[in-house]
Amino acid sequence: MKLSENIQKELNAQLNRELFSAYLYLSMAAYFEKENLKGFAHWFKLQAKEEVSHAMKFFEYIIERNAEVELAQIDKPKKDWAKPLEALKDTYEHEQKVTDYIHKILDLAIKEKDYATQNFLQWFVAEQVEEEAQALEILQKLEKSKDSVGSLFVLDHHLGKRE
């Protein structure tokens, strides 16, 4: 069964949002490289790759449902932050927005009784719990460390070990 126009439109919009997320996290990686915080940069580079993989899940699902992929222009992301804490606040807020978008698409799929799309989106519902939790954990660690350079470097070292 082909996707409804409404769901197709929303899935394409989310595909674009996932690609924007990758751009945003690459921009954050560049910021952290500039700040010589290589661990943070590494974490955000991997996060960017993960967001591209999320976009590809939407891409493949749209095609699998015999619908058309429509790629839109990707907005230019912010590139500078006053300090690492600000970048992590933006990360957490961004992940909350993504969660909201996923929930709205799921609400639409429920309204339209599109059970396949409801099932597809459940992976993203669970993924967003993890995404928000990771961003919040790093944010809270930065908030607790205040302006301690030592704590920042310990966290940077820890984030650099992400696989």
Domains of the chain plus CATH, in order, are: 5-159 (1.20.1260.10)
Quote the DSSP letter at residue 35.
Answer: T
Q: What is the pLDDT of residue 162?
A: 84
Residue 156 contacts by C-beta under 8 Å, 6 or more apart in sequence? Answer: 37, 38, 39, 40
Q: What is the pLDDT of residue 1?
A: 74
Q: What is the pLDDT of residue 29?
A: 98
Q: What is the pLDDT of residue 30?
A: 98
Residue type, 50: E
Q: What is the pLDDT of residue 130?
A: 96
Residue spans of the chain under pLDDT 70: none
Q: What pTM was estimated for this model as a whole?
A: 0.94
Q: What is the pLDDT of residue 148?
A: 83
Query: Which two three-digit tokens encode residue 48?
Result: 């960017």
Each residue of 77-92: pLDDT tens digit?
Answer: 999 999 999 999 999 9
